[in-house]
Amino acid sequence: MRLTPISIGNVTTENNVFLAPLAGYTNYPFRRLCKGYGAGLCYTEMVSAKGLKYGSENTKELLYTDENEGLCAAQIFGSEPDTMRAACEHETFAPFPIVDINMGCPVPKIYKNGEGSALLENPILAEKIVKECVKSGKIITVKFRIGITEDKLITAEFAKRMEGAGASLLTVHGRTRDKIYAGEVNFAEIAAAKKAVHIPVIANGGVFSDTDGERLMKETGADGVMVARAALFDPQLFCDLTGKGRESKLKMFEKQLKWTGTVCDERFTTVFMRKMAAFYVKGEKGAAAYKDRLFSAQSADEILVIAREIWG
């Protein structure tokens, strides 16, 4: 696909292929892995603005980064403009020049709190949140869906409002809230957002191969694409999208295991890397038996032994 840097405020990404924020997965080691395979920009897991306000240690852990990662964006969610701005100004956000506001999460708990995709139904509040966050001095971007249901598509108008409020980039997930992560991506609505604004628009949804990425760019006219769930099964999809050479799955896994163990405790490393190995082994001969063994593993070393049997 056509690679090009993206200017977001006063920073420029290496290319226009981004890693989406994925709750429970896009921690520092995983982002670093995807960045090494070609991702031009990676996002942290979704962070609660209220969590930061009340000093949640778990929330702070989600924002771990270091100098090895390079440019990274943090994503927050919430519905109170003042609290959202305070989150942007929080000391843990210092390493992140870009803060993305989640206006697309479909999870019922988030939606019922008036956060995430619920903001699509309250564009005036959404504007207030963006305007307030811009005052923090951070570069503010917004990720949103095309509507709540197919009979209430709001993409172009919502995009205009977000640009007018001060957003520097928009990511449009081409599905409605009720579709969650299933169903066809609405290319026309993403294209409508692109035509409606003058800031960069990133298309999100349905990218599982370089062919998917090329089609999404062509059909929408977007400035770039964002990879989400597909990266969990194959982080090296970014190699395909950017023209980088792939490496062995074992080398990839060893790298991620090492980095996770460096910044996380043994328990988290074991549980997290069991999940990742289960993603990576999908489609392999004997995958079911390997998954059973992986989820019985009690240490990172034990997981590594199994991984070497699978991919060695």
* Residues with catalytic roles: 105
Residues 19 and 34: beta-carbon distance below 8 Å: yes
How far apart are the C-alpha atoms of 162 and 139, rounded to whole Å? 13
String of b and e for 48-69 (b: at least 16 CB within 10 Å)? bbbbbbeeeeebebbbebeeeb
Q: Both tokens of residue 278?
A: 């289960």
Residues 47 and 21: beta-carbon distance below 8 Å: no
Residues 201 and 170: beta-carbon distance below 8 Å: yes
Residues 254 and 304: beta-carbon distance below 8 Å: yes
Closest CA to 81 of 93, 73, 89: 89
Closest CA to 205 of 238, 180, 223: 180
